[in-house]
Amino acid sequence: MSQALSNRPGLDFSLTPHDIKRRRVNQLALRIIQIAAIIAIVPLIAIVFVIASKGLPHLNLSFLVNGPLERPTGIVNAIQGSLVMTFVAIVAAAPVGIAGGIYLNEYASRNVARVGELLIDVMLGIPSILAGLFIYFAIVPILGHSGWAGASALTVLMIPVVMRTTQEVLRLVPAGLREASLALGVPQWKTTVFVTCRTAISGIMTGVVLAISRGLGETAPLLLTSQSSNDTAINLGQPMNAMTVVIYQNAGSSDPQVVATAWTTALVLFALALILNVAVRFKTVNNRIF
């Protein structure tokens, strides 16, 4: 069959040298692309393995519940500090971010929405160290190095995360839902709260959880604002420790025991971040729209 076809003029199916070259180039290029994908992922996997192998041997209950001055030493004050400051920050940032996202998507005119998007871009682009520097100059002189200062720095960083996510998920809510509600005579604000936001609630929560995990992972702004302390009492008016700060301060030590503390803290922090991310994944998979 192919013999008969290729005998006819103009229908030659045999590979010319040019075709063979194209095939070789193709194979080579695809191999390079594959290798690039592997290179991209290897260091990250390596980090996870090193965290596990260096952190696990020292992880035990007393590490989680003891203070840094007790024997055996622990990081309970850092865990408390991270959680408390992140909690305060998200309590402040979530309402602002959600309400702002609602305004930009439901009420703002096209041009205002564009300016709002620009605002979110600029805010998201602010390096975390600048948020720290801002609070260091603006709030630390008044409240001193304190948990409040740390929480306000985190708030600045969390607001745009929540706002961007809220705006994006509200955009995905079908207009028909809003129209149906409005046609029944429901005022627009009730439509927004009880129909639009309710439909998008798991997407909005995703934004909140993203912001929480950003807060838990920040170091630089906390160095400038809440600094660190060995006190195990929860007092937002005083300097507070955070897990990230513990890792930073212990990382460069020449004492292997201190570096081990850094690794174990990193393991605890990573486990927390992982739980949050997986929780978000399951939430988002189980919802119809998002």
Partner 1 sequence: MLEVPTYRRSRLSGELPFRILTLGSVLFSASVVVALVLVIMQKSQILWPVEAPLTFLTSSGWFGATDPSGVITAAFGAWPMIWGTLVTSLIGIAVAAPIGIFAAIYLVELAPKRIAALLTFLVEIVAAIPSVVVGLWALGELSPRLRDSIEWWIASSLGQFIPWLSEDPQQPSDTSVFRAGIVLAIMITPMVAAVSREVIRSVPQSLREGLVGMGATKWETIRLVILPTAKVGLFGAVLLAFGRAIGETIAVRLVIGMNITAVPTTLFQSGSSIAAQIAGAYGEASPIEKGALAGLGLSLFLLTMSLSLTVRLLMWRSANKMVARA
Q: Do residues 248 and 267 touch, judged by C-beta distance below 8 A?
A: no
By CB under 8 A, residue 185 contacts partner 1: yes
Residue type, 223: L
Nearer to partner 1, 73 or 219 (CB): 219
Task: State which amino acid sits at residue 32.
Answer: I
**Closest CB 223 distance from partner 1, rounded Å:** 6
Give yes or no for a contact between 68 and 243, defined as CB atoms under 8 angstroms apart: no
Residue 104, H or E segment: none
Binding residue for partner 1, selected from 63, 148, 263, 290, defined by CB under 8 A: 263
Cβ nearer to partner 1, comparing 22 with 198: 22
Q: Is the peptide bond before 72 cis (omega within 30 degrees of 0)?
A: yes
- CB within 8 Å of 220: residues ≥ 6 apart: 128, 129, 132
- By CB atoms closer than 10 A (0-12, 13-18, 19+), residue 168 is middle
The residues near 236 (Cβ < 8 Å, ≥ 6 apart) are: 84, 85, 88, 146, 147, 148, 151
Interface region with partner 1, contact rule CB under 8 A, candidates 10-18, 66-74, 228-236, 257-265: 257-265
Is there binding between residue 252 and partner 1 (CB under 8 A)? yes
43 binds partner 1 per the rule CB under 8 A:
yes
By CB under 8 A, name the one of 57, 174, 187, 237 that touches partner 1.
187
Do 209 and 280 contact (CB within 8 A), yes or no? yes
- Exactly one of 248, 258, 283, 284 binds partner 1 (CB under 8 A); that residue is 248
How far is 257 from 235, CA to CA, in rounded Å? 28
Q: Which of residues 53-92 bind partner 1 (CB under 8 A)?
A: none
With CB under 8 A as the contact rule, the residue among 52, 59, 83, 119 that binds partner 1 is 119
User: Minimum Å distance from CB 90 to partner 1?
Assistant: 15
Token couple for 287: 């919802």
180 binds partner 1, rule: CB under 8 A:
no
Q: How far is the CB of 282 from partner 1 (least distance, A)?
A: 12
Q: Minimum distance from CB of 34 to partner 1 (Å)? A: 6
* 25 touches partner 1 by CB under 8 A: yes
Nearer to partner 1, 88 or 216 (CB): 216
* SS3 label, residue 201: helix
Closest separation between CB of residue 140 and partner 1, Å? Answer: 10
Task: Kindly state whether residue 95 participates in binding partner 1, applying the rule CB under 8 A.
Answer: yes
Cβ at position 221, least distance to partner 1 in Å: 9
Judged by CB under 8 A, the stretch of 61-69, 175-183, 200-208, 243-251 that binds partner 1 is: 243-251
Tell me which long-range contacts 202-205 makes (C-beta under 8 A, separation of at least 24): 202/283, 202/284, 202/286, 202/287, 202/290, 203/165, 203/166, 203/168, 203/169, 203/172, 203/284, 203/287, 203/289, 203/290, 204/98, 204/101, 204/162, 204/165, 204/166, 204/169, 205/280, 205/283
The verdict on 213 binding partner 1 (CB under 8 A) reads yes
Give the residue with the Cβ less far from partner 1, 213 or 232: 213
- List 197, 224, 229, 239, residue binding partner 1 (CB under 8 A): 224
